[in-house]
Amino acid sequence: MKEMNTLLIANDLVEFLENHHDYLATVHSVFPNAVNLLVSEDELITITHHNEITPMGLTVDSSESFTNYLQPGDKVILNVDLINSSNGRVCIHLQNTQIWESGAMTDLAPRSVDEVDQINHQLTKWLGEQPALGLLPLLPRLTNRAVDTQRADDNIYSRYIADDLEAFTNAMAASDWELALNMADRLVGFGMGSTPSCDDFLAAYLVVFKIAEAVNPGIYPWVSEFNKAVANKAKKSTTLISANMLKHAGNGKLSSSHQKLVKTCLFIEKSDPLQLASQVLKHGATSGGDFLLGLVCALAWYRNSMMDYPKEGESAWVEARQSQPVPII
């Protein structure tokens, strides 16, 4: 029997466990660094190690591959202080763990448009130097650099989706969210991996939209409809893992490394964006790169959009802070 201790648990998972006792979940998928448990019809709980925690998730102190202990279909019993596999092979203790705020409140001030622009320049340049996996070969095209004809290693997926991806980013850049939502039909579920590339790309947009809306209440009333619509599309058009990911992203929640990066891009704090971006790449397989591509595009949208409403944005944020706490990343 392998005993593990929980290091960190997401606040939304704490809430779930407090409301459910002896809850029977099924192992949905197992990776060396993560296990997904299916609760209810389509909700996933994610257990990880390596310090990367997700919404509705927890991290443990073991570093062995989870495939040693669990396989899809195994039953797991959930309690607020203990998680037990019914095959008797693993048991996770939950006492005295730290709580991780997914989608936490922040007291931080939003960055100025120029600062966001500067950070995005940095990120984009750095991203251009990274291995061209997944959708990354499209970086020059989507950020409007001269297309590099001796671009190495673009793949069948990136080639096929290039036009659709560009149509989406153009629609958003033109502030036509309805058109963009339509374009998203051509993206959700497309690409390699158990979180298809385009989903990771879109997740970045959803989170940035959510933040834009929170920082400027009333200016982006379409965001919640947009994000919900994408999450609903995802339920039908993509993998369960990805649908969960997009649902959380729509609510402004990401896994910890992604969350830290987005936070430092949009709010005033001292982290190094490139260092955080490396962490995202490290944890994500190509998901990391696809997310980052979406992020640099979304930040460009954000900067562009904020140019139209600079004063309103800042004063609106100040007002909002004074009236009621708004959940922002």
> With CB under 8 A as the contact rule, which of the stretches 7-15, 57-65, 82-90, 250-258 interacts with another protein?
57-65
Residues of this chain, 75-114, that bind another protein according to CB under 8 A: none
> With CB under 8 A as the contact rule, which of the stretches 7-15, 77-85, 189-197, 261-269 interacts with another protein?
189-197
Q: Which is nearer to another protein, 103 or 158 (CB)?
A: 158
At 265, give phi and psi (nearest 5°).
-70, -35
> Nearest CA to 207 among 169, 261, 158, 160?
261
Does 189 sit near another protein (CB under 8 A)? yes
Residue of 61, 160, 163, 271 that binds another protein (CB under 8 A): 160
**CA of 212: how far to CAs of 237, 314, 315, in Å?**
27, 11, 14
Residues of this chain, 63-82, that bind another protein according to CB under 8 A: 63-65, 67, 72
Q: Which is nearer to another protein, 102 or 286 (CB)?
A: 286
> With CB under 8 A as the contact rule, which of the stretches 83-91, 102-110, 150-158, 213-221 interacts with another protein?
150-158
> With CB under 8 A as the contact rule, which of the stretches 6-14, 98-106, 118-126, 312-320 interacts with another protein?
118-126
By CB atoms closer than 10 A (0-12, 13-18, 19+), residue 86 is exposed
Q: Which is nearer to another protein, 105 or 307 (CB)?
A: 307
At 311, give phi and psi (nearest 5°).
-65, -50
Q: What are residue 44's DSSP bridge partners?
A: 38
| Rounded Cα gap, residues 148 and 138, in angstroms | 10
> Nearest CA to 110 among 241, 280, 305?
305
Question: Under a CB-based contact definition with an 8 Å cutoff, are residues 87 and 45 in contact?
Answer: no
> Nearest CA to 126 among 258, 259, 296, 264?
296
Residues of this chain, 223-262, that bind another protein according to CB under 8 A: 236-241
Residues making up the chain, counted from first to last: 329
- Which DSSP symbol is given to 145? P
Q: How far is the CB of 128 from another protein (least distance, A)?
A: 2
> With CB under 8 A as the contact rule, which of the stretches 3-11, 85-93, 155-163, 258-266 interacts with another protein?
155-163
**Residue 80 CB partners (closer than 8 Å, separation 6+):** 14, 17, 18, 21, 94
Q: Could you give the string, one character per residue 269-308, with x where binding to another protein holds by CB under 8 A and - elsewhere?
A: ---------x--xx--xxx------------x--xx----
Q: How far is the CB of 269 from another protein (least distance, A)?
A: 21
Residues of this chain, 9-38, that bind another protein according to CB under 8 A: 28-29, 31-33, 36
Q: Which is nearer to another protein, 28 or 111 (CB)?
A: 28
